[in-house]
Structure 1
């Protein structure tokens, strides 16, 4: 087998080079959680970053909440927040903040306790896959690239990633076949599967051998297409109140205003077997307007039905899944804050920081105040 450590040709200086490219800043991982002064400084920097439209991507423009999230993550990684921000993107306009696989690999190389950078060794007939693509048109008219290789080849090609932990003499290895990469949320899986598999193998290696490095950080290719379901249903408050209870009530007030002119409703014709479809916008509004986990669950079931009936293509299903996942995360976090105790308040606060871009600043502050009261 031929070891090729330079094959990750796309911006390899970021993928393999440590502090000088990202901007290394030594910061304790938990400083933001327990240092009020640092928290306030990050809040102030978030306001500045939100106005720095020339140097940060548009999903941070005017959104200090998003800025707070990426600054907090950069501090935990010991990196320059502005450099990290450049390597992020938003999954759809209403999606979640995600990190480029290239950046995550750089984090593994700089933060993991390894003697040297990760090493990659590919095997199998990769030449029979590379460049084998075809194009088709989606229902919306969008051109989509697809793989045009024999699916059985995916069990024959793969990559082995290895690195030696400090204090050890033998490298730890992880081998991954292309067939094992079930979730492929990037078009690069079609145009450059070799590189994408290397990125995925590196992340899985890190989660197995040094899990503390990537806690709470994922790229789209690691997000499985889970069944839409809701747990930990949270009851709605009967009256206005402060703290988390008030936050739940504010969620009810988030509903999208009703349109002045309702579109004509087409009822299903009992004379034929044509199923009824209310439209994608209606499903999006139902997700946005859901005020409880049970309401959200009903929307999820409806979406699954529409997918089964063929009304929703893959791209639209993914858009709805991301929006659904965001809303579910909001309900789950509210439940966690409501049930927090002295033993887990730090973990709950961390979860809130990781997902605070889903809430308004007032909502984040309301939950933080509740957690501060628990922590004493």
Structure 2
């Protein structure tokens, strides 16, 4: 692909961000350019005709065996998404790490036949098969991505408009990608936020407390503890982090991989032993803590009683000593979760003089999330 051809394609792609009010200008074109270059290096030609073919019968038979549990666990969110886009002609899909469709939900009567064919369970949309797609970029680069029209490498896939987000385990292992795709139309609604929020909710649902682990919910704003915007950490019986979500990594100013294996006392100014020593009736209350970077957060501990016996273990003894945490009751939250998030963003922007970057850091979310919500702030 020549420089002139590349510039022409990029200009065409950029023009798509002006066709719908919810589509924001792309922050990072590098994943798209890398995908195009891989297609060129593989000898692909943009005017080749692409057919959305199923994997082998043997591979198709293995989908339920290998991915059935994940499909069932994601169904509450994928069904919610399918209901949200019902009648729009969009399809909600879940892909495994190889780019194969392992689940699809859509209103078939309203979905174009071409999209029904392309979204069948067992269709492989790996980059080597169909070129540049949002699921392929989400799986490879680990970030939500939008691919529409000329952003697709192959000409006959350009009527598709897709948004995908990766789904990772609490340990940061890539599990799947969630996607919403339309055909021959630019959605008039914010499918980007729908996909990103649903992927975050699915990831958070994978965090569990138990007899061998503690679940820590935390955020600088007390009213956001217990929402999809909260940070989550899994801590084992030795006081070591064994799982973290994306928000936790942002709030603690590090990567998810760097959090795994860290001691709780290295990250916060509270000693787990003192928290578990409190009366049982107080263990579910919010407590105030300071992170290792000086950020004040409110936290709630789930499964604390299960780890009470282990609180005197060697791992906990190594942690930084601190006084018992004060009780802090969770304020009453609005019934509508999106309204709660909207209020938090509005308050943060007002307090920080409209500084989007500072508000994003305080809330533990991306700048793009704030931009996508700003139309809502004006309602």
TM-score (norm 1): 0.24
The structure in which a higher percent of residues are helix is: 1
Higher-strand-fraction structure: 2
Q: Which has the higher contact order (CA 8 A, sep 6+)?
A: 1
Q: Structure 2 length normalisation: TM-score? A: 0.24
